[in-house]
Amino acid sequence: MALMDLTDVRTLADATPATRNRVVDFLRAAAILTVAFGHWTAAALVVREGRFVPGQILDLAPWTHPLTWVIQVMPVFFLVGGYANGLSWRTSRSRGVSYAAWLRSRLRRLGTPVIPLLLTWLGIVSVAYAWGVSGATLRLASQVALVPTWFLAAYVMVVALAPAALWLWERLGWWAVVLLLAVGGVVDAVSLGTGSDLAGFPNYVIVFGAVHVVGFAWLDGRLGGVARRVGLAAIGLVGLLVLVWLGPYPVSMVGLDGATVNNSFPTRVTMGFLGLLQGGLLLAAEPVLAHWLRRARVWRFTVLVNARIMTLYLWHLTAMILTIGVSLALGGFGLGVEPLSGAWWATRPLWWGVLGAVTVGLIAVFGRFESPVRDDRPAPATWRAVLACVAMCGGLGVMAMYGIVNARGVTWWWPLVPIAGLVLTGMVPLRWGRTSGR
């Protein structure tokens, strides 16, 4: 079963070794669930006089902007990734596993689940466009649905550079974080000074890479004690306040339509300080969380979410787009409530429930792609692994930015670039099963 049998989850949870840091898994699951519910809640959609009007509450209600310091949790995902990737690379290195073999295992884990998503959306827009649905509508729908691939591309690049970043951390310690944030600030200065968003794109790797290195510090016990962790949070808070108060950066950590400067598109140095703030506060609570996660039900739920976490992340916005499409086909059923009104807030639990059910259905269908069969092939050539990484990230980045549909029709080749990069280099053999290996 793609949804995993509950008995399997119970067995897996009960077999958790005592040495495993359960907080890592919990924060990963909590971050992705926050992303899903945040996206679902931010959608301010309404049908007025028979016309569908898309929007988001951040554009309608400025009072929500400070809340993004809590709900923008992508830095948490990179923090957790630093801990997990640092541990994974050191274990592989100690066993004599090559970089190429290690990167292949990461690409299979992260890249395999995205293949059915890209093929599904390529099929949807191709058929819909042939049936006469406007290119503008399909571009908006596909871009929204594929938003998760944007940060996935950034994360894959950070993972590919993890061994180099770990080398830097082992030699410079905390100065590695300072160095990366300083470079991120320089990149921002160039990007903002020239008015070029493209010039700011390196910060997807540099700034999130700094947060990733903080994960190494967590792994190595360099953040021991509540005082040190609260101190890290204080540095993040002061940095954010200074940048927002004195700099050109907005309060909202989530991108706003039409804003002159966004903190998340491209990633700005503010996101690095947000990572310090969030990471410090969450790690200060680690002892309490670790004790709480000893409860069987809590830990089993955490294991369940992590077992299908990529599918949840990749498909939760597709679930929303499909639900909106069905609603519009029924004359806008359920979308007649004015955003931010009392009735709108009262119906949010129903909205979450419907989207959650659709997402679970999609996980039941596509979750199997998160369980690749064991791969005992010899290590690939390093250039193959690197080429696959570049093709995957480049294809996902361009596709997320420009969409699958433009004024001339369906640009069918962009979704195929990351797929070809993974398959033709041998990173993904296009075989899936119930068990997985390195």
Q: How many helices (H) and strands (E) does the chain have?
A: 21, 4
pLDDT tens digits, one per residue of 319-360: 999 999 898 888 888 888 889 999 999 999 999 999 999 999
Give 333's contacts (C-beta < 8 A, 6+ positions apart).
327
266 upstream amide cis, omega within 30 of 0: yes
Evaluate if residue 430 carries a pLDDT over 80.
no
398 band by pLDDT with thresholds 50, 70 and 90: confident
Q: Report helix, strand and coil shares of the chain as percent, to nearest 5.
A: 70, 5, 25
Evaluate if residue 168 carries a pLDDT over 50.
yes
Give pLDDT, residue 4: 55
By the 10 Å C-beta count (0-12 exposed, 13-18 middle, 19+ buried), 85 is classed as: buried
The neighbour count for residue 195, using CB atoms within 10 Å, is: 8
Considering the domain boundaries, does residue 207 fall inside one?
yes
Give 5's contacts (C-beta < 8 A, 6+ positions apart).
none
* Token pair listed for 86: 């640092």
pLDDT tens digits, one per residue of 233-275: 999 999 999 999 998 999 999 988 777 889 988 999 999 999 9
Considering the domain boundaries, does residue 381 fall inside one?
no
By the 10 Å C-beta count (0-12 exposed, 13-18 middle, 19+ buried), 338 is classed as: exposed
Considering the domain boundaries, does residue 244 fall inside one?
yes
* Residue 169, amino acid: W
Considering the domain boundaries, does residue 349 fall inside one?
yes
The size of the chain, in residues, is 438
Evaluate if residue 437 carries a pLDDT over 50.
no
Contact 379, 368 (CB under 8 A): no
Considering the domain boundaries, does residue 351 fall inside one?
yes
The neighbour count for residue 219, using CB atoms within 10 Å, is: 20
Give 68's contacts (C-beta < 8 A, 6+ positions apart).
58, 251, 252, 253, 254
Give 193's contacts (C-beta < 8 A, 6+ positions apart).
none
**C-alpha distance across the termini of the chain, in Å:** 22
pLDDT tens digits, one per residue of 11-43: 888 888 888 999 999 999 999 999 999 999 998
Considering the domain boundaries, does residue 152 fall inside one?
no
pLDDT tens digits, one per residue of 268-322: 999 999 999 999 999 999 999 999 999 999 999 999 999 899 999 999 999 999 9
Q: Any bridge partners for residue 56, and if so which?
A: 43
Considering the domain boundaries, does residue 154 fall inside one?
no
Give pLDDT, residue 6: 56
Q: Interhelix angle for 147-160 vs 135-145, to 10°?
A: 40
Number of structural domains (the chain) is: 1
User: CA 243, 58, 397: angle at the middle one, nearest 5?
Assistant: 75
8-state DSSP, 432: B
* Residue 178, amino acid: V
Q: Round to whole Å and give the CA distance between 401 and 428.
A: 25
Contact 302, 293 (CB under 8 A): yes
Show the domain range for 242: 6-97+161-376
Considering the domain boundaries, does residue 409 fall inside one?
no
